[in-house]
Amino acid sequence: MNKKPEITWSELSALPDVQKGCEHLHVALEQLRTHGDLVRVLSRYVHFNAPFGAGVAHLASAVAQRPDLFGDPNTIEHYLSDRSYEVAAPLFAAAIDEFGGESAKYQPHRTLAQNTVQAVGKFFGYNGASFKSLIDPNAETIIAMEGAKSGYGIGQVIDENALFQNMGFHIGSEQLAGEEFRIIDTFLRREHPALVSHMEMVDPEISDVQTYIWIALHTTVEDEHAELAFRAANLALRYYRGDQEPYEMRKQIVKGFVDFVKLQTEFLESIGK
């Protein structure tokens, strides 16, 4: 039996401009001049992240609905050979975290992110109209959010090429997010240690868990999610039984990854402007 293709980070990381978006984020943070600038940048980053939880849940569901595409060739009975749920399982595991797994104290990551922005604004004395003016998304952020939805196939008819592209897009989002959060965490701990210390304590007016947990958690959990994303993609290649060659589907994964890199780079280049 022909060996099935695989996709690895060592290959994807060698593609052009993979780290460019993270470099833009680092520069944007270093160029901040006021506390309001910090609130604005963090808020835009939170907005950008909003579609991703729904995106991975959507992707898991889309994969699980394609028994025609994923099957074990060693199982003769077609009905029993279906492996679509096995391919979808690593994706769904990440979705569970996004919607409130144990690591996040059973609170959705979206809620934790909103608490983060609220806590930073409160710490620096922003409220009411002044706070709203800082956290409303700008046009570039809204465009990036729509791009994230598109990258996950939300609201689209998904053929098999698009499905594999969506998996590549997901690999990019998980793999690069960990680096993004580590850049933010390092900057805040160095430049705003009093803010971090305050957020590491519970503020009952905002939440019953510390408001820094969204940032701290994602410095590590995204690496776990990236491993799950690669596992799903490689299971998809292993069990693929569609009409095309598996190596063609591997190209679609790479294309989806490149699509994410482009979206992330463009957004993070604009985040501080």
User: If DSSP states are collapsed to H, E and C, what string results for the chain?
Assistant: CCCCCCCCHHHHCCCCCCCHHHHHHHHHHHCCCCHHHHHHHHHHHHHHHHHHHHHHHHHHHHHHCCCCCEECCCCCCCHHHECHHHHHHHHHHHHHHHCCCHHHCCCCHHHHHHHHHHHHHHHCCCCHHHHHHHHCCCHHHHHHHHHHHHHCCCCCCCCHHHHHHHHHHHHHHHHHHHHHHHHHHHHHHHHCHHHHHHHCCCCCCCCCCCCCHHHHHHHHHHHHHHHHHHHHHHHHHHHECCCCCHHHHHHHHHHHHHHHHHHHHHHHHHCCC
Confidence of residue 101 (pLDDT cuts 50, 70, 90): confident
The CA-based diameter of the chain, rounded to the nearest angstrom, is 66
Confidence of residue 2 (pLDDT cuts 50, 70, 90): low
Per-residue pLDDT tens digits for 13-41:
999 999 999 999 999 999 999 999 999 99
Mean pLDDT of the chain: 96
| CA pair distance 179, 67, nearest whole angstrom | 35
CA angle 40, 44, 45 (to 5 degrees): 120
Closest CA to 63 of 148, 176, 177, 162: 162
CA angle 45, 51, 54 (to 5 degrees): 145
Percent of the chain with pLDDT over 90: 93
pLDDT of residue 104: 57
Per-residue pLDDT tens digits for 136-147:
999 999 999 999
| CA pair distance 260, 22, nearest whole angstrom | 13
Please give the residue that has the higher pLDDT: either 105 or 217. Answer: 217
Q: Which domains occur in the chain, in start order?
A: 25-270 (1.20.910.10)
> What residues are paired with 71 via a beta bridge?
82
| CA pair distance 93, 89, nearest whole angstrom | 6
Considering the entire predicted model, what is its pTM? 0.96
User: How much is the average pLDDT of 4-8?
Assistant: 95
Per-residue pLDDT tens digits for 58-84:
999 999 999 999 999 988 787 899 999
